[in-house]
Structure 1
């Protein structure tokens, strides 16, 4: 697609965004909605539409090369991401579920389920700041150094045991005896062959010669074939030839990759030229327009002095720096209005302290009302929560309409920066610099005028009164730095050596395969809570884990999620998702699992030092992910005897304290994974983890996609001989991890070479599957019943019970009317 095509994508996205803003910010406020179903339908419709705008803006920002357009699109993109998260938070609060099924809305908007897929913006990793890039490079260097030294140490320090030595000697001895036996058999066979053929008649000599010739040709062909295979394997091993399973892509794919690469190069080039132009134009404006700006500002301020003098009879007080200085003078207001506004600000500051006591009393009265609050809210109606992103989106949308909507770019074929727009932006910066200097000079001039005309001696100008903290309030303790003299590099080296700072494996969210839950809406209409599909899990984690970690502005203003718990059977992909979140956001991964912390930093001082180092480095290298594998061990009701040495509960008290210290500006996320949460204290675990995500075993659609994609990825071919439908049906309960192991054991190099003669069949996978135990329906139901005891699960059960009671009351009312 050309740049004009992506400009059209941006235009379409802005058209939809304008209509969304008009709906969300109407002139007259929207009245509260009493019907919860209707209110949720409105929320879900807004969510789906915002996701479509998000996808379009992400595509436009990814492919456009105009630097000024990309800056505005980035601002819009972050605002839309934040609004999507706000709507998701509200949907969860209103439906009491992490998963939502909106088939009716998709049908009304003429969309398909893939339209709900959350895209991962390229700028999360591809356009990081230089400082962040340098820190991440330093961490990679430390990890590479540690990996190299570990390999060297293990090769030097490894000592062979007696059993291993005996085994090697036996193997060599048996191989030597086998070679001798083979040589003797060969000699005996050839001697018998010669004796037998000498006794034959001369007429058989021709047949013997023909047979030898045929054997020679056939053996030569086999040997050449083996040699070619060995040579190909050697070339692949040396990296001189591409492996057959990584076949050369089609020409269309090659062209698309070349276009993407050229666009990235053009984006960097245009960005460098744009930054150089900013420096040059800023310098030019300072040199040429500084004096004129200062002169104009002084004349305007002097005129304000005289107008205030003529109106009020006195010269005004000059606005302080905290109030904005002369910036409030240049607002379109009369001198009388400005004087009244300044007086009002002083009166408000004085009245706030009086009103504070009354507000505190009202707040206490509201708390004393107790449990009747929820019912009152329902009676009053449901309203949208205030948004932190709508105002920014409105400003950015206004900027688009003023500058880009009707702009003629027929002559800007190369899509370079617009000089006039840079001058407008730089003039504002220079005006601010000039204003600060002019304010100092005009304050002195005003003081001289007051002294000369009104005989008023210059005194200290009163600034806005500072708010005094309440005496009874407790001061928040600042976190004490236990390592003030240590560098970041030394802390990273120690954490790597202790195994607490690790390299994330190369997984992506797209590698978490699955299908959509097409029956979710139908089941909920029949009051049956459906199990989420694997793609539902992927979408939720993209929202909760990737979007906030990738953009600092989104993390600061969106609903804060500090911790996530992934619950599911072994092999469903919990660890893979943790690594994928780190890769997609470029996050640093820390490991505080019980097996990683066992025997390290003993005692309370050691534990405090370990947590301090982890969280300090996590903040400095943000975004960061702190992974806790086997999270249930930390909240054991009773520690098993075989795990007492691990001390799994040593972080139970201190880690939640560290969690409370995470602020919105700290892009640090704690992710726990567990396969047996039933053994833990539910109340403590729910306090620790703000979001609990249940990952089920794959359903039929997900298993079909997993078998197909994983076999192809391993190098196998799907033919008519392989009945995927039957294979998917008989593998109910098997997890993606088990499928990967089975496919890697079946689809080997030798099997790939033999596919032309013996294609893959379903029977090839049945025998290896017998080595694994599937996840039974009882285990899944146990996890589901445990999840129903969580706060969100309890709220959903309560809402369902209230709905049933309302239906029964409605039926009773109808029957009474009939009587």
Structure 2
């Protein structure tokens, strides 16, 4: 598509975004809602609509070439992503479930389940800074170097005599000749059977000819019928035309155009960066002196006006308050002086008053909760409003007929950089004018208040000097490269597998809404799991701006039977975001860095490197071992509970600016202490065995992936039905055992059938219903599971007013 088309798509997305903002921003729109169902319906509608804007903006940002537009689009895109995360967080808190079923919303908006898929922006990986790219290159070099050194030595053959070698060769050759003779004998026997017939007469020859004709005509007719049936199915739109299965020329050219557009983006961005430097230097040289002179004249005039109005020279505003920027606000000298005095009074307020205010706020919050459900304040709506205003003011009606190539515009750079240069010059002017004001005061006013203010400033400085103690850097004398090398050698820093999140195959849960209407809690589908992990892990790790403002998630626990794809999901998260993978599994850390000091050093190194090389994922396989109720005898030597106390402490040190995520995986969470496990992991995601729809897709796609052909002879529906209870890992093992290289070559004459997969499938134990029910009952004991049960039984509504009364009492105290 052309750049004009993407500009129109951006305009459409902004139009929908402006509609959403008009619905959300007015104070009247956030009225308390007593009906929980109606409130959730509104949240779901907003979530789906924001998600569609997210999809459009992601497509636009990927292909727009104009460097200044791209920066505006990126800021809006990150704001939309953050708002989607906020709405998801609110839906979880109001419905008490990680999974939501919005069939009615999709129906109202005329959308399909595919529209609920969370897109993963390409810029997460493609647009890393140069420093990050250099760090990644350094890490890949270390991993390659360690792999080469640790690769096993080639197996050396044992010394043997010449006679022994000849005997081995003879045995192999005689076996080969024996197999060849057996084949020839079988072929000769078959030939003899054919020629063991008496000489047929003319009647026999005619009968033979008729039988041959029958077979041939039947074969031809069946072939014609098949062709006619295939044409009919293509005409009805029930089967894809074979010519469209192969990428058509238009598709290949479109892909080539997209690739060339990305190259063009890089070229235009380099030109833009160079132009920024040139324009900034030019403005500083040409307009810098005039700016400084004008500022000084305005400030001196302000000194004189203040003296005329109040009888004394004013106090110069502090740098923290904005310096002389306050002077140029639309206020007279008296108002400005009163405003500065009011700020100083606010700063000198006593702490007990602050506590009373907090108590009053708590009381007010309780009253609001009693009134009904309200949406939480958003950290992204203000950014979206600014981005929408920028689009309306600058880009919506801008005439770009002369900028056909969509290169950067110099005038816009000048407008932006004038403000930056003005701020730089203002700092220098403020220092000079402070000194000048002090000289004026000494010469004319001899103001006594200067000393007191100087003392106050000193006090402020002394108070601000008392900061919290920083963490001790145990490896201050070591370079990042040496730390990475040590972690790689110890097996704590690993290379993530090349797996995408879309490889986690699974169908949409079509019965979710129906089951909930009948008071039955449905098991989530693999598609639901994929969407939840995109929101909780991939988007926050991929975008720094989103991670800082969105609800902070530090640790996620993936619980489910063996083989459902927990490990694959961890690697997919790393691959989609370009994150580094640290392995702190109990079995991996066993015997490494012994003692308390060694443990402290290991955690310090892992978290330090994880922050420096962010985004990072810290993976804990078999997370239940760390919180065992009772350690098994065979695992006591490994000391699996070694990290139980220290890891949660390190988890607390992760802040909003640190794109570090801890992911635990467990197949036996029942054996762990639930309280400590829930304290460590704020989000617990239950991954189920695949349902019928997911199994059908898995069989079809996995067989194709391993080289098999899916024909009518292969009854996938039957295969999906009999494989109930089996995990994707079991299916992969079965397909690998059946679809071998030899079997792939035989497919032309003997297509694959469902019966071939039954025997190897029967040798594997499935996930029985009892195991799944045990996982369900375990999840029901988690904090979110308990809330869900209370809401289903109606106890949550009964407890809500009691909590409000307690809050009121606290507020009155």
TM-score, normalised by the number of residues in structure 2:
0.86
CA deviation map 1:237-286 (0-9, x unaligned): xxxxxxxxxx9844333212211210111000000010111111111111
Q: Secondary structure at the match of 1:560?
A: coil
Q: 2:747 corresponds to which residue?
A: 755
Q: Does 1:442 align with 2:433?
A: yes
Q: 1:591 corresponds to which residue?
A: 583
Counterpart Cα distance in 1 of 2:303 and 2:108: 62
By how many angstroms is 1:798 displaced? 1.1
Q: Does 1:299 align with 2:324?
A: no
Check whether the contact 1:451–1:458 (CA below 8 A) recurs between aligned residues: no
Q: Does 1:567 align with 2:559?
A: yes
Check whether the contact 1:304–1:335 (CA below 8 A) recurs between aligned residues: yes
Counterpart Cα distance in 1 of 2:468 and 2:430: 37
Q: 1:117 corresponds to which residue?
A: 117
By how many angstroms is 1:357 displaced? 5.1
| Aligned partner (choices 349, 352, 357) of residue 351 of structure 1 | 349
| Aligned partner (choices 312, 315, 318) of residue 317 of structure 1 | 315
CA deviation map 1:431-481 (0-9, x unaligned): 11121122222223323333444354894554668669999xx98553222
Q: 1:32 corresponds to which residue?
A: 32
Q: Secondary structure at the match of 2:30?
A: coil
Q: 1:259 corresponds to which residue?
A: 257
CA deviation map 1:3-28 (0-9, x unaligned): 11111111111111111111211154
- Alignment root-mean-square deviation, CA: 3.0
CA deviation map 1:787-815 (0-9, x unaligned): 00111101111111226998xxxxxxxxx
Q: Secondary structure at the match of 2:664?
A: strand
Q: 2:691 corresponds to which residue?
A: 699
Q: 1:683 corresponds to which residue?
A: 675
Q: Do the aligned partners of residues 697 and 583 (structure 1) sit closer, same or farther apart at CA in structure 2, a change above 3 Å counting?
A: same
Q: Does 1:102 align with 2:98?
A: no
Q: Do the aligned partners of residues 170 and 801 (structure 1) sit closer, same or farther apart at CA in structure 2, a change above 3 Å counting?
A: farther
Counterpart Cα distance in 1 of 2:72 and 2:359: 46
Q: Do the aligned partners of residues 315 and 756 (structure 1) sit closer, same or farther apart at CA in structure 2, a change above 3 Å counting?
A: same
| Aligned partner (choices 406, 418, 423) of residue 415 of structure 1 | 406
Q: Do the aligned partners of residues 137 and 248 (structure 1) sit closer, same or farther apart at CA in structure 2, a change above 3 Å counting?
A: farther
Q: Secondary structure at the match of 1:583?
A: helix
By how many angstroms is 1:609 displaced? 1.4
By how many angstroms is 1:291 displaced? 1.4
Q: 1:146 corresponds to which residue?
A: 146
Check whether the contact 1:322–1:464 (CA below 8 A) recurs between aligned residues: no
Check whether the contact 2:23–2:29 (CA below 8 A) recurs between aligned residues: no
Q: Does 1:308 align with 2:306?
A: yes
Q: Secondary structure at the match of 2:695?
A: helix
Q: 1:405 corresponds to which residue?
A: 396
Check whether the contact 2:506–2:526 (CA below 8 A) recurs between aligned residues: yes
Counterpart Cα distance in 2 of 1:645 and 1:169: 50
Q: Secondary structure at the match of 2:347?
A: helix
Q: 1:393 corresponds to which residue?
A: 384
Q: Does 1:625 align with 2:617?
A: yes
| Aligned partner (choices 697, 702, 706) of residue 710 of structure 1 | 702
Q: Does 1:520 align with 2:512?
A: yes
Counterpart Cα distance in 2 of 1:680 and 1:380: 40
Q: 2:233 corresponds to which residue?
A: none
Counterpart Cα distance in 1 of 2:83 and 2:767: 38
Q: Secondary structure at the match of 1:769?
A: helix
Counterpart Cα distance in 1 of 2:772 and 2:600: 38
Q: Secondary structure at the match of 1:570?
A: coil
Q: 2:201 corresponds to which residue?
A: none
CA deviation map 1:129-188 (0-9, x unaligned): 01111111111111111111111xx215x68899xxxx9999656314435767999999
Counterpart Cα distance in 1 of 2:177 and 2:506: 56
By how many angstroms is 1:346 displaced? 1.4
By how many angstroms is 1:40 displaced? 1.5
Q: 1:426 corresponds to which residue?
A: 417
Map 1:40-439 onto structure 2 (within 5 A): 40-151=40-151, 154-155=152-153, 174-178=171-175, 249-353=247-351, 355-356=353-354, 358-359=356-357, 378-439=369-430
Runs (5+) with no aligned partner, structure 1:
190-246, 807-819
Q: Secondary structure at the match of 1:645?
A: coil
Farther off after superposition, 681-690 or 717-726: 717-726
By how many angstroms is 1:303 displaced? 2.2
Q: Do the aligned partners of residues 429 and 187 (structure 1) sit closer, same or farther apart at CA in structure 2, a change above 3 Å counting?
A: closer
Check whether the contact 1:319–1:326 (CA below 8 A) recurs between aligned residues: yes
Map 1:399-548 onto structure 2 (within 5 A): 399-456=390-447, 459=450, 462=454, 478-548=470-540
Q: Secondary structure at the match of 1:566?
A: strand
Counterpart Cα distance in 2 of 1:526 and 1:275: 60
Check whether the contact 1:573–1:736 (CA below 8 A) recurs between aligned residues: yes
Check whether the contact 1:509–1:580 (CA below 8 A) recurs between aligned residues: yes
Check whether the contact 1:34–1:382 (CA below 8 A) recurs between aligned residues: yes
By how many angstroms is 1:30 displaced? 2.9
Q: Secondary structure at the match of 2:636?
A: helix
Q: Does 1:795 align with 2:793?
A: no
Q: Do the aligned partners of residues 477 and 325 (structure 1) sit closer, same or farther apart at CA in structure 2, a change above 3 Å counting?
A: closer
Check whether the contact 1:524–1:530 (CA below 8 A) recurs between aligned residues: yes
Q: Do the aligned partners of residues 749 and 294 (structure 1) sit closer, same or farther apart at CA in structure 2, a change above 3 Å counting?
A: same
Q: Do the aligned partners of residues 668 and 183 (structure 1) sit closer, same or farther apart at CA in structure 2, a change above 3 Å counting?
A: closer
Counterpart Cα distance in 2 of 1:568 and 1:291: 68
Counterpart Cα distance in 2 of 1:805 and 1:327: 52
Counterpart Cα distance in 2 of 1:458 and 1:762: 93
By how many angstroms is 1:309 displaced? 2.2
CA deviation map 1:17-53 (0-9, x unaligned): 1111112111546322222222212111111111111
| Aligned partner (choices 716, 725, 737) of residue 733 of structure 1 | 725
Runs (5+) with no aligned partner, structure 2:
187-244, 799-813
CA deviation map 1:514-564 (0-9, x unaligned): 100011111111111000000000000000010111111211111111100
Counterpart Cα distance in 2 of 1:481 and 1:168: 62
Q: Do the aligned partners of residues 187 and 375 (structure 1) sit closer, same or farther apart at CA in structure 2, a change above 3 Å counting?
A: closer
Counterpart Cα distance in 2 of 1:183 and 1:298: 103
Check whether the contact 2:30–2:375 (CA below 8 A) recurs between aligned residues: no
Q: Do the aligned partners of residues 589 and 184 (structure 1) sit closer, same or farther apart at CA in structure 2, a change above 3 Å counting?
A: closer
Check whether the contact 1:500–1:590 (CA below 8 A) recurs between aligned residues: yes
Q: Do the aligned partners of residues 124 and 642 (structure 1) sit closer, same or farther apart at CA in structure 2, a change above 3 Å counting?
A: same
Q: Secondary structure at the match of 1:401?
A: helix
Check whether the contact 1:451–1:457 (CA below 8 A) recurs between aligned residues: no
Map 1:800-811 onto structure 2 (within 5 A): 800-802=792-794
Counterpart Cα distance in 1 of 2:110 and 2:102: 12
Counterpart Cα distance in 1 of 2:512 and 2:158: 58
TM-score, normalised by the number of residues in structure 1:
0.85
Farther off after superposition, 770-779 or 438-447: 438-447
Counterpart Cα distance in 2 of 1:374 and 1:675: 41
Q: Do the aligned partners of residues 260 and 357 (structure 1) sit closer, same or farther apart at CA in structure 2, a change above 3 Å counting?
A: closer
Equivalent residues, number: 737
Counterpart Cα distance in 2 of 1:785 and 1:185: 61
Counterpart Cα distance in 1 of 2:529 and 2:165: 49
Q: Secondary structure at the match of 1:561?
A: coil
| Aligned partner (choices 777, 799, 809) of residue 769 of structure 2 | 777
Q: Do the aligned partners of residues 533 and 479 (structure 1) sit closer, same or farther apart at CA in structure 2, a change above 3 Å counting?
A: same
Q: Do the aligned partners of residues 452 and 275 (structure 1) sit closer, same or farther apart at CA in structure 2, a change above 3 Å counting?
A: same
Check whether the contact 2:790–2:796 (CA below 8 A) recurs between aligned residues: no
